[in-house]
Amino acid sequence: MNRTFEQEPDRILIVDPLTDNRARRESWKLMAAIAFMGLAFVAGCLGSVL
């Protein structure tokens, strides 16, 4: 539980690089999955039309 607090006049940031990296990696996976599903959906629509 070793976290450094950076206090600024308008906000308090909790800096934890481990969870920050993990969250970024998870969001990247989520965006890739959404893009893949979108492409599959478009390909399916085109395939059914043609």
The pLDDT tens digits for 21-31 are: 777 778 888 99
| Residue 10: inside a domain | no
| Residue 7: inside a domain | no
Q: How far apart (Å, rounded) are the C-alpha atoms in residues 32 and 26?
A: 10
Tokens 């993990």 map to which residue? Answer: 22
50 vs 34, more confident: 34
Q: What is the mean pLDDT of residues 33-44?
A: 94
Alpha helices by DSSP H, listed for 1-50, are 17-49
Given a cut of 60, is residue 6 above it in pLDDT? Answer: no
* Predicted TM-score of the model (pTM): 0.48
Report the domain count for the chain: 1
Tokens (6 digits) for 38: 């979108």
20 vs 12, more confident: 20
**How many residues comprise the chain?**
50
| Residue 35: inside a domain | yes
3-state secondary structure of 2: coil
